[in-house]
A and B are shown apart, each in its own frame.
Chain A
Amino acid sequence: MKLELRKRESISRRAAIVVPLASFGVSLLFGAILLIVSGANPLQTYAAMAGGAFGSVNGLTEVLVKSIPLILTGLGVALAFRMRFWNIGAEGQLTMGAVAAAGVALFWSQGMPAWTILPLSLLAGCIAGAVWAGVPAILKAFLNVDETLTTLMLNYVAVLYSEHLYYVAWRAPNYNSGTERIPEFAWLPRIAGRAHAGIFIGLAIAVLLWAVFRYTRWGFELKIIGANPTAARYLGISIARNIVVTLLVSGAISGLAGAGEVLGLTRRLQQGISVGYGYTAIIIAWMAQLNPLGVVLVAFLMAALAVGGDQIQMRMRLPASVGVVLQGMLLIPMLAGSIFREYSLHVSRARNQESRIENREDTDRQEDDAVDGEAAETGGANGSSRSRGTGGAAGTLRSGGTEGSAGSLRSGGTGGSA
């Protein structure tokens, strides 16, 4: 008996849906082991998590509250990743966005019409985020400086700078870690509970980006650069210009997340403005396969996981760290499972002469409808035939037991012919 991973011949839509669901199932199993070891009943714990996130209006609005920055930073990261620019600086871009929005709302509001302050603060957040991403972009585009390092380092700069502001420079009297409250006319309106209008901004940007990727020249060029930069250069697409423009937009979206937190949620710059949203955003972007609409969905689920995780501390009296560990455990199978989107798993037993002969006839037939004789060495395929497993597979199993790309027929899938 042997296991074999085989590259899929074509992109399977079904796998794209089934694989994450199956991975989630595996995640729950792993989590259950952890919970049993910690002395908790897994079913009760999961029920408590679900109840905490979705069981009440308060829980739901809290999920929304956490979704907003996750959606926005997730979109920012996904945009940069789309062209294989590893922007892991969403955390810093969010923080600078928060700093700039708070700065404008607190100190620039004198002498300006009140209604301009909110849009100006949001804009300031965008600009600050854009600058924070633009610096690594320019370094990358013109000096080929590795962006993973620069974006990561700027996170520390931003977070420590913001600490300096709310602990020292902008600290409000009688308050040890925060600024004065932002004037009310600069508040982002709330829609339910603590959930604010930032959710609409996030959804709008998601739809907009989706359309950009699908229907615009820019989106098309980003995709080419991401998939094959050498080809992009050859096709006359300026990589340097695209890096800078894309990263300005990417940083602006993450900056907007920070502005939203300050203007909609905390209403002051204070400690805990970011609790790692910018890092979670990386996971979200990957799990969503860089699809903006997927980002919305995954961000919402991650937010639910976080809110539910908080709940089990209270309801199940588990240590706080268990909730966080559980979140991590849940993610690993989800990420590992993504391999099955590209590969299918086959199990075959020892070779069997009989079944080999039986299979010959249809092998012959299938070959006739191969598109092109030259296909073999270049790994070409027309998605028509792969009916036989390895040397007469006795039983063939594919990831999650499902698969089935268009036009493919697999005799192995019908069960053991031995």
Chain B
Amino acid sequence: MTARITQPTVSPPVLQMRSITKRFPGVLANDRVDLDLYAGEVLALLGENGAGKSTLMNILAGLYRPDAGEILIQGRPAEIHAPRDAAAFGIGMVHQNFMLVPTMTVAQNIVLGIADLAFVPDLGAIETRIRELSDRYGLKVDPRAYIWQLGVGEQQRVEILKLIYRGADIVILDEPTAVLTPQEAQDLGRILAVMQAEGKSIVFITHKMAEVIAFSDRVCVLRQGRVVATKRTADTNPRELARLMVGREVLFRLDKRPAQPGDPVLTLEAVHANNDKGLPALRDVSLQARQGEILGIAGVAGNGQQELAEVVTGLRPIKRGKLLINQRDLTHCTSLEAIHAGVSHIPADRVGMGSVGDMPVADNIVMKAYRMPPLARQGVLNRRRILDFARALIDVFQIATPTPQTHVKFLSGGNIQKTILAREIDACTDLLVAVYPSRGLDVGATEAVRRRLLEQRDEGRAVLLVSEDLDELRTVADRIAVLYEGRVMGVVNAEEADVETLGLMMAGASDPVIGDAAADPGTEGGRTQ
């Protein structure tokens, strides 16, 4: 049993979570987790995906109820059954997906859902109050702006402001930097510092070591639902944190040989395409990926990466310009034609697009190979061969599944990704398009994914790697193209690319330093407008 808490004499914690246990079917998400939070501190909650960080914080925010354990706020037991209860205790959470109404203004969003709001709210007074707060915290938000007019970083600031406005003293941020440019992340750091100085307590969830070091006072490391260590940030280092997080020593370097590029596989010539809303998403994009090289695509989420991947895989029509695969014009191809041309695609949305949760792992693995002999002849499937085929790939890709017949929805995120990887890499003959392939995966699975990409490159295929992780791009890719508002801001060699330069390009500065790094052979342009 948990020891009774003796009242500390100096500054008791504002929040104590005691022996919190939460179980989901087949998984112990939180196992007797203890967590203290003091006034005016930034606590980093570090852990791999699935370590139980989000679950723990969702319990605190009232979205889940713990199976066991208790929460004390200011030393008194607190029953948190719903987000409303959490708000009453001064707890607020900024989720990864923002909860804002795009067609309403900042001020309207901030007061939306406040229980004791007047029937006709005095928006003028509200806006004044918002301005006051945003000045005090350095949040730089215009209360009259509409949400749809704001960038992702600004929307995040609105979310934070919303919590401050409602008087939250404990602010939880769930992976706040995932959607930000490096510069925006630095701004966030400054905002956290002000909030801290105002006496607010902040928990931020992350799996990036650099942020822990840069932002936090203390760090709590979770692994497989348990607290493995709680340390003062000053007393630790990234290497130790990584070891605690993963449970073993982690090699950060990949074994990467120099690229030996061959003929161009993918050629885009001045391609224009629209997004789902019919607005221009790609403007005048010209790129080339050659055999045996990985072309990285950097950019803040929503700057055309998704559309680029869809254009290349035949899922999105091209308005103007040309798409060539192995010099064959596939500008107006269907997704099936792209598949037949040897293009494989690891999509960003692995549950919504990349896999079919209600079908077995084996079926998911053969969802490209099922068309051809030996798995099918004259439209009739050979179930036994399919199973053998799937078993072999489950083995090679080390997919942890109870049986090949287990439905994919019962697998973990990492294993769903491995299932997709198995299918796509097996089917890939010429070009592999990988969109955020390691997003949300733990260190082990990330390593496996990156190694597969390099393996494909070394076997002479072209790889288009879309990623939001600059470290990933710099270690895995050979060249990096930066997209901003659908334009290629420049193409740089991966070895020469530093985070500062890439960050500026991601924010819209066209190729500031490296003028000709991309002037590799070929027709390619390191296009700068």
Docked-complex contact B50 and A373, CB < 8 angstroms? yes
Contact with B along A340-374 (1 / 0, CB 8 A): 00000000000101001100000100110011111
Stretch of B18-26, B157-165, B230-238 that contacts chain A = B18-26
Q: Which residues of A contact B370 (CB under 8 A)?
A: 217, 220
User: Could you tell me the distance in whole angstroms from the C-beta of B395 to the nearest C-beta in chain A?
Assistant: 15
Question: Which of B1, B25, B314, B416 meets A6, CB within 8 Å?
Answer: B25
Question: Which of B23, B354, B381, B441 meets A215, CB within 8 Å?
Answer: B381
User: Could you tell me the distance in whole angstroms from the C-beta of A413 to the nearest C-beta in chain B?
Assistant: 15
Q: Which residues of A contact B313 (CB under 8 A)?
A: 234
Question: Which of B224, B225, B410, B441 meets A380, CB within 8 Å?
Answer: B410
CA A354 – CA B407 in complex, angstroms? 36
User: Could you tell me the distance in whole angstroms from the C-beta of B180 to the nearest C-beta in chain A?
Assistant: 21
Known: A218-B379, A367-B224, A373-B50. A379 touches B402 (CB 8 A): no
A233 within 8 A of B: yes
Closest partner residue, chain A, to B246 (CB atom): A373
CA A374 – CA B441 in complex, angstroms? 8
Docked-complex contact A236 and B339, CB < 8 angstroms? yes
Closest partner residue, chain A, to B347 (CB atom): A234
User: Could you tell me the distance in whole angstroms from the C-beta of B270 to the nearest C-beta in chain A?
Assistant: 26
Q: Which residues of A contact B363 (CB under 8 A)?
A: 220
A376 within 8 A of B: yes
Docked-complex contact A376 and B368, CB < 8 angstroms? no
Question: Which of B225, B335, B380 meets A217, CB within 8 Å?
Answer: B380
Question: Which of A224, A351, A367, A391 meets B356, CB within 8 Å?
Answer: A224
Docked-complex contact B50 and A374, CB < 8 angstroms? yes
Known: A382-B26, A384-B26. A391 touches B413 (CB 8 A): no
Stretch of B5-13, B27-35, B38-46 that contacts chain A = B27-35
B82 within 8 A of A: no
Docked-complex contact A377 and B49, CB < 8 angstroms? yes
Docked-complex contact A377 and B407, CB < 8 angstroms? no
CA A55 – CA B376 in complex, angstroms? 48
Closest partner residue, chain A, to B340 (CB atom): A236
A57 within 8 A of B: no
Q: Count residues of A near B (Cβ-Cβ below 8 Å).
A: 53
Docked-complex contact A386 and B359, CB < 8 angstroms? no
Docked-complex contact A378 and B412, CB < 8 angstroms? yes
Docked-complex contact A223 and B315, CB < 8 angstroms? no
User: Could you tell me the distance in whole angstroms from the C-beta of A24 to the nearest C-beta in chain B?
Assistant: 26
CA A224 – CA B364 in complex, angstroms? 9
User: Could you tell me the distance in whole angstroms from the C-beta of B49 to the nearest C-beta in chain A?
Assistant: 5
Docked-complex contact A216 and B379, CB < 8 angstroms? yes
Stretch of A8-16, A67-75, A301-309 that contacts chain B = A8-16
Closest partner residue, chain B, to A408 (CB atom): B26
A383 within 8 A of B: yes
Docked-complex contact B442 and A374, CB < 8 angstroms? yes
A176 within 8 A of B: no
A238 within 8 A of B: yes
Closest partner residue, chain A, to B376 (CB atom): A217
Docked-complex contact A10 and B353, CB < 8 angstroms? no
Question: Which of A9, A367, A378 meets B25, CB within 8 Å?
Answer: A9
User: Could you tell me the distance in whole angstroms from the C-beta of B342 to the nearest C-beta in chain A?
Assistant: 13
Contact with B along A237-250 (1 / 0, CB 8 A): 11000000000000
Docked-complex contact B1 and A391, CB < 8 angstroms? no
Docked-complex contact A223 and B402, CB < 8 angstroms? no
B482 within 8 A of A: no
B526 within 8 A of A: no
Docked-complex contact A375 and B339, CB < 8 angstroms? no
CA A217 – CA B383 in complex, angstroms? 11
B68 within 8 A of A: yes
Docked-complex contact A379 and B25, CB < 8 angstroms? yes
Known: A217-B370, A223-B359, A386-B25. A376 touches B381 (CB 8 A): no
CA A377 – CA B51 in complex, angstroms? 7
Docked-complex contact B52 and A351, CB < 8 angstroms? no
What are 6 of the A-B contact pairs (CB < 8 Å)? A236-B338, A238-B334, A377-B52, A378-B49, A379-B25, A381-B24
With A236-B338, A391-B21 already in contact, 18 other A-B pairs whose C-beta atoms are closer than 8 Å: A224-B367, A227-B356, A237-B336, A238-B334, A357-B1, A367-B28, A367-B224, A370-B26, A372-B412, A373-B50, A374-B49, A376-B50, A377-B29, A378-B50, A380-B27, A383-B410, A386-B25, A386-B26
